[in-house]
A and B are shown apart, each in its own frame.
Chain A
Amino acid sequence: MPAVSKGDGMRGLAVFISDIRNCKSKEAEIKRINKELANIRSKFKGDKALDGYSKKKYVCKLLFIFLLGHDIDFGHMEAVNLLSSNKYTEKQIGYLFISVLVNSNSELIRLINNAIKNDLASRNPTFMCLALHCIANVGSREMGEAFAADIPRILVAGDSMDSVKQSAALCLLRLYKASPDLVPMGEWTARVVHLLNDQHMGVVTAAVSLITCLCKKNPDDFKTCVSLAVSRLSRIVSSASTDLQDYTYYFVPAPWLSVKLLRLLQCYPPPEDAAVKGRLVECLETVLNKAQEPPKSKKVQHSNAKNAILFETISLIIHYDSEPNLLVRACNQLGQFLQHRETNLRYLALESMCTLASSEFSHEAVKTHIDTVINALKTERDVSVRQRAADLLYAMCDRSNAKQIVSEMLRYLETADYAIREEIVLKVAILAEKYAVDYSWYVDTILNLIRIAGDYVSEEVWYRVLQIVTNRDDVQGYAAKTVFEALQAPACHENMVKVGGYILGEFGNLIAGDPRSSPPVQFSLLHSKFHLCSVATRALLLSTYIKFINLFPETKATIQGVLRAGSQLRNADVELQQRAVEYLTLSSVASTDVLATVLEEMPPFPERESSILAKLKRKKGPGAGSALDDGRRDPSSNDINGGMEPTPSTVSTPSPSADLLGLRAAPPPAAPPASAGAGNLLVDVFDGPAAQPSLGPTPEEAFLSELEPPAPESPMALLADPAPAADPGPEDIGPPIPEADELLNKFVCKNNGVLFENQLLQIGVKSEFRQNLGRMYLFYGNKTSVQFQNFSPTVVHPGDLQTQLAVQTKRVAAQVDGGAQVQQVLNIECLRDFLTPPLLSVRFRYGGAPQALTLKLPVTINKFFQPTEMAAQDFFQRWKQLSLPQQEAQKIFKANHPMDAEVTKAKLLGFGSALLDNVDPNPENFVGAGIIQTKALQVGCLLRLEPNAQAQMYRLTLRTSKEPVSRHLCELLAQQF
């Protein structure tokens, strides 16, 4: 075997290197280098012509100096001269100098083209290889322009030596990748594919890389390579461990070539030809079988080489994703590696299993390893292995194991490395949202995240929890309660204060009934955190305070005191100072109506994709798609999020959040026709003591006047004309969409929200009702970038409704620009009791195609409910008066939401009736009373709701003076719990 001694061949170089190594300091080294540079410069400039050896030696010294990190500004010409030498060693140093220094002087390239051309034409394989390596190493466009046409010829020439072919293939690959336009396709491409059959394994090894690259760019032109690759692979895989002699590495035949062939096959779908496919499947099975055989050597090199092929085989199996048997075998094999003593194998098995989890065939098989993976998360010493374990848990998560996985991730978070905490937080937040069976679990999980890793909970995560709580009224009371409890911890993270501030500001009223969380207690709890918080948080808290003034008039004096304090009014921070001044003024001068309008409950957040998911994607980059399982073919995905609306009678918003993760659930079966009834979960802010019973121009009108066309002087005058001209006959409009009832149901308990949304259009609703009058704002948003034309929304009264309800609409513009929103105002008058809502028909042209959509307008009879307070005695008296069988409607039903007294109370208030305390002898029960106001008549209503927590059932009884109204209200209200 060859051996070389130190500095073999160039004594001067060895001496110089030794000198440099002996330098005691950087200064000494620089001194020595400068001395040498001066010496070399003088030699190069000297009168005496240098011989090839000296030139080579000095150029090599310059190269060494450059590699030490010093600039070299001369010697290039001498290096170029070396290229023309006939001696290999001199030529090699010349080429090396150019390859290494070419970045710093691209002028060089033009000078050397001639020498390269000569070497390529020399028919001396050694010189040809040197030239080809130089082109491959430099790979610039200039090189491509000069040589791209010559190299294919060298590659396929019958008389080229094997080593030249190897270099030519990779040289061409380099040029093709750098400037594909310069490489002419032609007759050579067909012959290149046949290099897969070449006798010389080295040529095949190099050629496969070129062919793979060509296949990626022009898959159709190189299809023939599939069968050739399969037969080559088959020969290697089935050969005995010594058959391939030189190409056997630790008893493994041609491991690198096998890996490359398997990667080439991943450019294509499974072979269509049955024979080829059969042969390939046989290969894959052989590899899987060999993995089970006892090792032929104990060396790690043997197992690594073997497993390199195995992992690439599994990649191909996953790529095909069509052979359930192979996928499950692959999964089992990886399962064995999960507990292997080699860390590398555990890591790779976790990584590979992550992609297996996304296949419907192997998802279940992957899930069986959950305990091992959780254990890896706890015990692995290498953070990157733990990270892969977390990725795999995320990928294997579905409805069945979400609670376990989320709780393990939360536990891991307490000790997780700082580097991956944020990612774990994002993953937990996404899984908790995606697989939430009930949203109280979701709220608990996110609050736990903030508690454990508050610093890593980014804005996206805590914004998200606010969006979801705002959009889902079934969780608002729970969220308020939980966040209130969390804030009682002596030290809580600032993010907790932010979430708490926002939620209590919006929904604090839902827990205000409990003396332990009465308004003053809520306020003093929040305010106790105030001084420790950053400016942004304090600004948010100030907004909470003004909301408190609106929600809880009893806190007004205290809060005004806080706002008035010098530390606020004269705060150096302009944002805080401005808020304090403005909120203080607002609370002092504005009437309760104005205050209530300004501080109305936040409208639902319209959303398409979870901002958290978007963030995780950004973090992981485009290549991480598989781990993010957004494109996941999960067999159980049909019930993902669909479970959020477990039965049609759930009224809580299906809401945009249901398909936040892009997994639109199959629409639940249509709800039974729901007609009347609305009312807000929250105490209606208009029901304050000074509420105006009329829709006439009050201060709130003035406030809104910028947002809408001039209000009519008297709404009564407008409403007196109950037949709007734009109202087409019912025959013109289609039947309501299947989800119409369900969408309508969302609004039984609230007045504002997103009524409808698809890919083109979003319709938002904001409405207010007073006695028998109502005003509704519809917001039509064009979600596309294209203008809608002939846009015409109209309201239709089917059947008798025309005599029961008058709806006056205003026309809207016929064009809606892309991304724009138009608003339509509806004035509504309830003439007499009604059971079916009006229809809203929306028609427009989008890109020339007519679109039509019919929805039910969220106007139900309980919108015209006026609460009535009465004493127990009066209640029982009236209850007895309404004792005719047809005046009573009763329903016994199962609870669909957690049975929380506070939430129930809020829902009943929202429904519109007054809640009467100390009437029912059983304090668990609720009784309420109210009057439905119509133009023609008033309908008195009494209700009683009896929860049975043990049985998770309710009994609801309604008594009204009109039989259909009793039944109708009973049906509507029964769906709220």
Chain B
Amino acid sequence: MPYLGSEDIVKELKKALCNPHIQADRPRYRNVIQRVIRHMTQGVDVSSVFMDMVKASATVDIVQKKLVYLYMCTYAPLKPDLALLAINTLCKDCSDPNPMVRGLALRSMCSLRMPGVQEYIQQPILNGLRDKASYVRRVAVLGCAKMYNLHGDSEVDGTLVNELYSLLRDQDPIVVVNCLRALEEILKHEGGVVINKPIAHHLLNRMPDLDHWGQAEVLGFLLRYQPRSEEELFAILNLLDSSLQSSSPAVVMAATKLFLVLAKEFPHVQTDVLVRVKGPLLTACSSESRELCFAALCHVRRILRSLPGHFSSHYKKFFCSYSEPHYIKLQKVEVLCELVNDENVQQVLDELRDYCTDVSADLAQAAIFAIGGIARTYTDQCVQILTELLVLRQEHITSAVVQTFRNLVWLCPQCTEAVCQALPGCEENIQDSEGKQALIWLLGVHGEIIPNAPYVLEDFVENVKAETFPAVKMELLTALLRLFLSRPAECQDMLGRLLYYCLEEEKDMAVRDRGLFYYRLLLTGIDEVKRILCSPKSDPSLGLLEDQAERPVNSWVSEFNTLVPMYSKACWAAISSSQVSEPHGPEPSGNGVLSASGSLVLENKEELQPLCDSGSFLLVPNGQLTAEQFEKTWLSLEVAHQEVLPWQGVAHPDTIQTALQVVNIQAIALSKAGVQPWKAYFSAQDGAGCLFLTELLLDPEPSQVHLSVKQSQAKAEALNSFISVLKTVIGTIVGIKS
């Protein structure tokens, strides 16, 4: 923002800086320089006094030097030609007897961020690496990383890298950590700094000397080290034991992650570690800093995925207090919902009930949905609480409650009756689209046991012209048609009116199409309508499939102590890939082409790497494969994998089909339920275009399922991932049946 009269200010400053009287008077001179900096930070463009500032850097006063360096670093990219003049002074300062001046000058020189500066800074950095003051060495080590970034895509300098590796043995702990940081940046295209056995052991021995930032980072680097033997592994774990008790949450979290990763073969050790960090995590959850609290809560949710009962005895820690910000309250509600067990269910429900009347509509709705989640196990209590909430006649509450009811009825059919009794009267207090859809769906599907269902729907039909949400109109059409099947006399007239409206007046194409479809369906006769519309009214198995059983610790450990628990993975992947394709600073014109192509290859490698090593095997929906194509491919391929899995009972084609659909495995053909022998064919495709064709053959006698998989490209790794996906799904289905 340009300030009024900024030109005058700059002129005045320039005059003051040139004034020999002021220059002779040190405090006054420094005062003027401070004013320049102050204006700079306020956004006034003071770059025109650059020359005078360069002159001012030739002084013995360290503060003045610091200020001038700060100024130079800010404006050097704008005035590269003038900044070259300053380099001379900086170089001279790099050999000053005072280590502080040397460090300062070196740091500023490395931060100049202008093209062509590399050739001047190389020598001072190399000198700095061998300086006897640790302060200068610290700066020089990071300077290497800065220099490399300025170069952009140039070759990695082998001797410099070796020098940095040898500095890992430096006496000063911060130099050691800075070396790791610098190497990590310089070698980022080669997978970062390599941690071999000697380095790992050296770092482990230096741990107690480091400050906690250093400890946290070293713990992060140690993740790359794979101990050779079990003995070594446990020796390392013993050595790091005290890190789990550190006063810094960052160190505790980094140590936890390291422990979990190292002990990935020993689930009982992992559980032990999680038990031990319970205390520190709970402390962080009630920390004064709300941000720490939020981060800790996100990690608690991760842990709960694997150890559902882990924090149950501490459920009171997760009660919201009035003054907390919303994002924390929402996390706490989610956590509470997962902590419920037989002993605390009453208290937790009482607490959640209190939140349902919170001033913030978001929190109130979240609490209601949380009660809905708990209702899957403790149905009666929850339905009662939800029913009581309807009395309040608040719009956002009623809407959330009805939505919860819809999901509940679908997952726990035993509560249908209670829900249906609670519904009358709700329609007056629902205004939003989601709530209306839920209510209309409930009335349509369970209309035969709700006495006034047709009359409520009639109100909706009357007001359909004023209805703004197309989704509500579609829901209304379906619901009314369904209700017509069970209570034809009461519904016939209004169904006619609604269809007439949809066909003649409705502007939204989707609604009109739906209306037309139902109209034609009705023309084919009532039996056909019944066959199409009377789908099952509930499906408890879906709920079990949805909240997967306990996931192993190893499935989330790579994401522990990263931003992922606070944000979805996909989001981060998008950011880092766009990062890679960004050009790195200005390119030197000489060998630009060669080095650019070199770096391209490296970039690709980097992009591929996370795909392979993180095990993010992804199936993409294809669905375009016809039965004929499938047959042709099937016959042309060899069986790549065969396996026999246990099975129980009869196969329900629908369940299997839905379950596999969730993971993008398409059904091609299935036998009807109960047919002997029962067979099914499926196809799937992964991100790289490899096709997987699967045959399931059910053997009723020893109750087994024979699994054969064929693959269009011979890729063992992808095949293994695919089979593990398939087995997980089949395992889940069998689990539900038993």
Asked if A pairs with B, the answer is no
Q: Give chain A's interface residues, CB within 8 Å of chain B.
A: none
